[in-house]
Amino acid sequence: MLKKLSLCLVFAAMVGAAVQISPVFASSAPAPGSNSEFPYVELSPSFVTNYDGGGRLRYLKVDVTVRTKRPADELLRHHMPYIRNQLIELFSSQLEENLTSTEGKEHLREEALERIREAIDFVEGSGSTDILEVYFTSYVIQQ
């Protein structure tokens, strides 16, 4: 009896905690004090692709966030499949030397920015100048 009561209390506490936490994740409004004129758009899920590792199959996992100027954030979200395709092609075509050095990562970040801008111009005809920066918020390679 005591065991059942303990299990019920633990379950009730977990449900209560989930109810308290869920509104935090459900909110899509910008954080108070944030500059909503220049929103950040996370390109999720993570990009996971293989790359040329000199005869061995190697993997790259990268999380990408894009800083935009309104209304380009909506363009970015609308054309996300095309943009993701362009970035997957870019990431998978890299050589190992380009992915491991600091200069190579910076060059890849700049190339990713250019690819996103080209994609927006291709599908919209303009608007790429409102794509301001690309950031790698997580970057893992398996060698």
Coil, strand or helix: which one is 30? coil
pLDDT at 111: 96
pLDDT at 3: 55
Instruction: Output the DSSP codes for 32-97.
Output: TT--TTS-EEEEEEEEEEEEE-SSSEEEEEEEEEEEE-TTHHHHHHHTHHHHHHHHHHHHHT-BHH
Residue numbers of the chain with a pLDDT score lower than 70: 1-35, 127
- Spell out the domain ranges in the chain: 40-142
Phi and psi of 125, rounded to 5°? 90, -20
State both tokens at 97: 């030397």
pLDDT at 2: 54
- Decide the pairing of beta strands 57-68 and 131-142: antiparallel
pTM of the model: 0.70
pLDDT at 38: 82
pLDDT at 55: 75
